[in-house]
Chains A and B, each alone.
Chain A
Amino acid sequence: MNKFDIISDTVIGMLEESAFIFSDPVDEITVTKDMKSKMLGYCIKYTSPKSGTIAVFADKEVATMIAANMTGLEEDDPMAEEEAGNALQEFTNIIAGHIITELHGTELVFDLGIPEAITGGLPNDDNLIQIEIDVEDYKLILEFIEP
């Protein structure tokens, strides 16, 4: 499997395992930088022995679903919306750990940073991989760079 497929499968698997959300990847990226700037976003960097950055952007509705499902709240509970950012931050942390393992195995030791808020998207780079996921009527985007 190529890197794109590995990462895509990992994102979809982790949405299911961590937040009980079933989703589908899209074939072509439709989300623009402007649209991403309106989404919640977190990025996390890792180093040693390889370095890279993983960013997750999600419509607030998706982040709210993640918050609700991870904590057992109802989606329309105001607390779920309040925790949407925290939930997406934690999801970014979880997905990063799994992507690194899926790509590089379990023997190497990586130094994973703390997810930080981000807007607009990672810089354009020849190594940039973008994955767009449909979650009901909303979007989740994962961006990955490993030079």
Chain B
Amino acid sequence: MSYSIMVVDDSSIIRAAIKKTIDMTEIPVDRLVVAENGLDALEKLKETWVDIIFCDIHMPKMDGIELIETLRKTVEFKNIPFVVVSTVGSETQINELKEKGISGFIRKPFKPEDINAVMGEIFGEWEK
């Protein structure tokens, strides 16, 4: 199976870094969709289905928290796995995010093993 992945971050550096890290995992990627913020992500989701979203929290226009709250209320998007990629280190904040329905959390800076681990947890056995 190959995956359609969305990366949402207002930083062009982080979008590129996530792409580079995903490339290092050898996860089969059918399509990589990038968005600069939550609003941009919602617009692109209307046009393109994705299997998983990697998303920052702090973004202009619509942040990651508002995005996941919106997705979880939307019938067609509510089950898309949503992984937060953030500098947040507080267990309290991470637990709050889990209560909002995130599927995983990766702390910046991230490594290929982090992507592999979260993909494995979400999609079942991921061998690499």
Q: Which of A14, A72, A100, A114 contacts B89 (CB 8 A)?
A: A100
Expressed in whole angstroms, the minimum distance between the Cβ of A65 and any Cβ of chain B is 13
With A18-B109, A97-B108 known to touch, is A90 a contact of B88 (CB < 8 Å)? no
Interface residue A71 (Cβ < 8 Å from any Cβ of B): yes
Within A63-86, the residues touching B (CB, 8 Å) are 67, 70-72, 83, 86
Q: What residues of chain A lie closer than 8 Å to B58, measured between beta carbons?
A: 112, 114
Q: What's the Cα separation between A107 and B104 when bound, in Å?
A: 19
With a cutoff of 8 Å between Cβ atoms, the chain B residues found around residue A47 in the complex are none
* Chain B residues in 8 Å Cβ range of A29: none
Q: Within 8 Å CB of B109, what residues of A?
A: 14, 17-18, 94
Q: Mark B2-18, 1 if CB is under 8 A from A, else 0.
A: 00000000011110110
Q: Are B16 and A109 within 8 A (Cβ)? A: no
Q: How far is the CA of A132 from the CA of B18 in the complex (A)?
A: 29
Does B74 sit at the interface, judged by CB under 8 A? no
Query: Quick one: which of B1-50 are within 8 Å of A by CB?
Result: 11-14, 16-17, 20, 23
Complex-state Cα separation, A48 to B33, whole angstroms: 36
Q: Does A124 contact B (CB under 8 A)?
A: no
Query: How far does the alpha carbon of A14 sit from the alpha carbon of B109 in the complex, in Å?
Result: 8
Question: Which of B64-72, B75-83, B90-98, B119-127 binds A?
Answer: B90-98
A to B contact number (C-beta, < 8 Å): 60
CB distance from A7 to the nearest CB of B (A): 15
Q: Are A70 and B108 in contact (CB under 8 A)?
A: no
A103 shortest CB reach to chain B, Å: 11
CB contact between A107 and one of B23, B92, B108 (< 8 Å): that residue: B92
Closest to B107 in A: A97
Q: Smallest Cβ distance from A16 to chain B, in angstroms?
A: 9
Contacts A83-B12, A90-B11, A114-B58; is A107 near B17 (CB within 8 Å)?
A: no
Inter-chain CA distance A114–B56, complex, in Å, is 13
Measured CB to CB, the nearest residue on chain A to B14 is A90
Q: Please, which residues of chain A bring their CB within 8 A of the CB of B12?
A: 83, 86
Set B16, B92, B111: member contacting A70, Cβ < 8 A: B16
Given contacts A17-B109, A86-B11, A90-B13, is CB(A96)–CB(B87) below 8 Å?
yes
A83 and B111 CA atoms in complex are apart in Å by 21
Closest to B24 in A: A72
Task: Determine the chain A residues whose CB is within 8 A of the CB of B88 once the complex forms.
Answer: 97
**A108-B90 contact given A14-B109, A94-B109, A97-B108, CB 8 Å threshold:** yes
Expressed in whole angstroms, the Cα–Cα distance for A109 and B92 within the complex equals: 7
